[in-house]
Structure 1
Amino acid sequence: MKKVLIIHTGGTISMKEDKNTGEVSPATEHPLYEVVPSLAEFAKIKDEVLFHIPSPHMTPKNMLQLGSRIHEQLATEDYDGIVVTHGTDTLEETAYFLDLYLQTRKPVIVTGAMRSINEIGSDGLYNLITSVRVACSEEAKDKGVLVVMNDEIHTAQNVTKTSTSNVATFQSPQYGPIGMVTKRGVFFHHTLTKHESYPIQTITTHVALLKTYAGMDHTILEAIRQTNIDGLVIEALGQGNIPPALVQPLREIVNAGIPVVLVSRCYQGIVQDIYSYDGGGKQLKDMGVIFSNGLTGPKARIKLMLSLELTRNPHDLVAMFA
C-alpha cells in the first residue's frame, strides 16, 4: 500500500460553521483528525498540522517554511506522495510557490474546501480523499505540484479561483484541467511540456502588485516607489497597455534598476508588444519592462520574488519570464 503524508495548513477545510450564527471560523481542534482513519483504505496515512491559519494570513515566508518541511519529510521517510490542505483564497499562490521551489519527482497535491467540515454539502473530505488517490497515482509523478478539487486535476501554474463560493471555483482558463478523478480511477489526458525550478534558501524581497484601470494617474506608482520595492508586477490592460500618465514614473522605476513585470488583467491570453502609442506594449518593452507569458498577477509576483533571490540580472529575468 502506498504511503502518503498529509500536511495541514488551515483554511475552510479545517473550520466549522456555528449553526446559531452562521459564522465560519477555525475549530479549536483540527476537524480533519476525525476523518483521517477513513483514508486507510486508500493509503497508509501520516498527517501533521504545520499551520492552522486562514489562507489570507498565509505569507511567502510561510510558503517557504511549508516547502522546506516537505523536503525534510521526503528526505527522512519514503513517502509516495504529499497532500497539503489549504484555504482557497491564496491556495493558487502557495501551490505555484511550491511548484517552483520543490525539488522532487513525487506527486505533491494541494487541496481545500469551499464549505466547512460540518456544513451541508461539505466538499472537504471528498477533496481530501481524491487528493490522496491522485498522490498514490504513478501517473502523477513528474507533473509538478497539482491542485485537486471537485474531481479535477489542475497544474499549479494555470489554476485560479474563479468564484467566491461555488465548489467548482478552481479552473484553468484557456488550458483546462490536465486530468480527472472518477470512482474507477485517476486519469490524465495532458502532459507538461516543461517545468521550472527555483531552489532558493530565503525570501527577502519585497515585490508589489498593481492593477491598472481607466484614467489611472501617476500618484499610485510614485507612492509605491517610496516603499523601497525590489520589484513590481503590473496587471496591464488588454495585451499589455497602460494609461499614458503611468509611462514616465514607470520609466523612472525601470531606470532605477527595479524589475517591472507586465501581465494582463484579462484572465486569458498573453501580453505582447503590439501597440506603439503612448503607454502601448511596444513602448513598454522598449523601455525595459519584462513581459510574462500568461501568468496571473499574483503568480507573476510569486515568481518574481523567487527569481530575485537567485539573480538581479535583467537578461536572466527576461528569460525566466519568456
Structure 2
Amino acid sequence: MTSAPSSKANIIVVTTGGTIAMAEDQQTKSVRPLSSEALQAVLPYVSDHAKVQMDHYLNIPSPHITPDIMFQISQRAKEWLERPETDGLVITHGTDTLEETAYYLDLVLHFDKPIVVTGAMRSQGELGADGPVNLVNAIRTAAHPRAKGKGVLVVFNDEIHAARWVTKTHTSNVATFRSPSHGPVGYVTKKDILFHQSISKKVQLPHKQPRARVDLIKAAAGTDDCFLRCALDSGAEGIVLEGLGQGNIPPAMLPGVKEALRRNIPIVLVSRCYNGIVQDVYGYEGGGKELKELGVVFSNGLNGQKARIQLIAALNVSKDPEALQEFFEDGII
C-alpha cells in the first residue's frame, strides 16, 4: 500500500531558467534558452498527482545568478507560499549554482509547505534528457504530505536531497547531485515518495535583501595572502576561507587573515574536502588551533559556496564573531 496523497495538491512551478529550459541550436551547436513555455509539455504527466500552475518568472543561465537574484526568487516564492490555496512550490533552476540558491531559500524561507528545487543536466532534445522526469518527480514530491516541514529539498535523478547537504559533483552526469556526508533523504519511485532520513533543526536567518560582499578564497600548497589582500582592497565585508584538511592553511596566508580580522572583517573557515568538518586540532603555524584563537569562525560541514551564501545572509544580522559562530554551528550536521 502506498501513501500517496488522497486528493490533488495545488502546486506552483516557478521557472528561473537553466538547462532544463534550453535546447541545442542546430546551426550553432550551442545550447540556448527556449521560450518560457518550454516546460508545459510535462504537465499531463502530473495530472494524477497535482493541480499545477506555471509561473514563468525568469529564464537565465545559472552562472548569471547572483545573491540579489536569489533574493528576488525568494520573494517570488514567498508570495506564492503565503497564499492559503498553495500547497507546495517547485522551482526550476540551472544546475551550476542550484545548490547555492536552494540553500539560500532554506535559510530565509520559513514555511512548512514543501519547497523543491530541480533542474536538468541534459537540455531538451538531447537523447536521455532528464529535465521532464526531474520536473515530474519534483512536483510529485512537493505534492506529498511527508515533504512538509523538511525545509528546501532538491530532487534529481529519482533522489531527494536536503538543500543544506547536496552539492553538484560531476560536470555532466545526470547523477551529479550528491550529499557526500549524509546521502539522499528520500527517493522517488514509480508509485510513491519515500523518506528514510529525518532532517534536524536548521539555521533560520531573516528574509532581507543581501547586501554584503563576501569573497571565497581557496588554500592550496604554498599559497600566500595575495587573494586575501585583494579581497580586502576590493571592499570585501566577509571572507570564506576554504582551508586544507581539518581546517589548516599555509603560513604565508596568515598575514592576510590577521589583517582582515584587525579590520573586523569576519572570516569563516571551511575545508576543501567534501566530507567532514573543520576543527581546531593542529597547533602549528597556520593550523586550526591558531586560526580559532585568532577569531576565525569555524563552519560545521558546509562547503565553501554554501558557507559564502550563509555568511552573506548572516551579515544582515551581525558581524560579531561569537554570533556568527553560533549561526555556523547550529543545526548543520
Identity across aligned pairs (percent)? 50
Letter in 2 for 1:270: I
In structure 2, the partner of 1:184 is 191
Q: Structure 2: how far apart are the matches of 1:219 and 1:98?
A: 33
Match of 1:169 among 165, 176, 195: 176
Q: Structure 1: how far apart are the matches of 2:65 and 2:265?
A: 25
Letter in 2 for 1:317: L
Contact kept, 8 Å, 1:200 with 1:310, in 2: the verdict is: no
Letter in 2 for 1:132: I
In the superposition, the TM-score normalised over structure 1's length comes to 0.98
How many Å apart are 1:218 and its aligned residue?
Answer: 2.3
1:92-131 aligned within 5 A: 92-131=99-138
Q: Would you say 1:89 and 2:96 are equivalent positions?
A: yes
Q: Quick one: structure 1 residues 173 and 275, their matched pair in 2 at CA, closer, same or farther if it must change by over 3 Å? A: same
Contact kept, 8 Å, 2:42 with 2:136, in 1: the verdict is: no
Number of matched pairs: 322
In the TM superposition, what whole-angstrom CA distance separates every residue of 1:190-214 from its partner, at most 9, and x where no partner exists? 0012122112321111000001111
Contact kept, 8 Å, 2:12 with 2:86, in 1: the verdict is: yes
Q: Quick one: structure 1 residues 28 and 80, their matched pair in 2 at CA, closer, same or farther if it must change by over 3 Å? A: closer
Contact kept, 8 Å, 1:207 with 1:305, in 2: the verdict is: yes
Q: Would you say 1:295 and 2:302 are equivalent positions?
A: yes
Q: Would you say 1:241 and 2:248 are equivalent positions?
A: yes
Contact kept, 8 Å, 1:103 with 1:199, in 2: the verdict is: no
Q: Structure 2: how far apart are the matches of 1:236 and 1:112?
A: 30
How many Å apart are 1:3 and its aligned residue?
Answer: 0.6
**Structure 1 runs not aligned, ≥5 long:** none
How many Å apart are 1:50 and its aligned residue?
Answer: 1.2
How many Å apart are 1:32 and its aligned residue?
Answer: 0.7
1:195-274 aligned within 5 A: 195-274=202-281
Q: Would you say 1:9 and 2:16 are equivalent positions?
A: yes
In the TM superposition, what whole-angstrom CA distance separates every residue of 1:195-251 from its partner, at most 9, and x where no partner exists? 221123211110000011111122221111101111000000111000101112211
How many Å apart are 1:255 and its aligned residue?
Answer: 1.6
Q: Structure 2: how far apart are the matches of 1:169 and 1:219?
A: 33
Partner of 2:277, secondary structure, is coil
Contact kept, 8 Å, 2:206 with 2:316, in 1: the verdict is: no
In structure 2, the partner of 1:65 is 72
Q: Structure 2: how far apart are the matches of 1:68 and 1:28?
A: 23
In structure 2, the partner of 1:134 is 141
In the superposition, the TM-score normalised over structure 2's length comes to 0.94
Partner of 1:216, secondary structure, is coil
Contact kept, 8 Å, 1:242 with 1:279, in 2: the verdict is: yes
How many Å apart are 1:18 and its aligned residue?
Answer: 2.1
How many Å apart are 1:256 and its aligned residue?
Answer: 1.1
How many Å apart are 1:35 and its aligned residue?
Answer: 2.8
1:300-315 aligned within 5 A: 300-315=307-322
Q: Structure 1: how far apart are the matches of 2:328 and 2:203?
A: 11
Q: Structure 2: how far apart are the matches of 1:219 and 1:241?
A: 17
Match of 2:47 among 36, 40, 43: 40
Letter in 2 for 1:249: G
Contact kept, 8 Å, 2:19 with 2:61, in 1: the verdict is: yes
CA-atom RMSD in angstroms: 1.1
Q: Structure 2: how far apart are the matches of 1:76 and 1:275?
A: 51
In the TM superposition, what whole-angstrom CA distance separates every residue of 1:240-294 from its partner, at most 9, and x where no partner exists? 0001011122111112111000000000011111111110000000000000001
Q: Structure 1: how far apart are the matches of 2:323 and 2:270?
A: 18
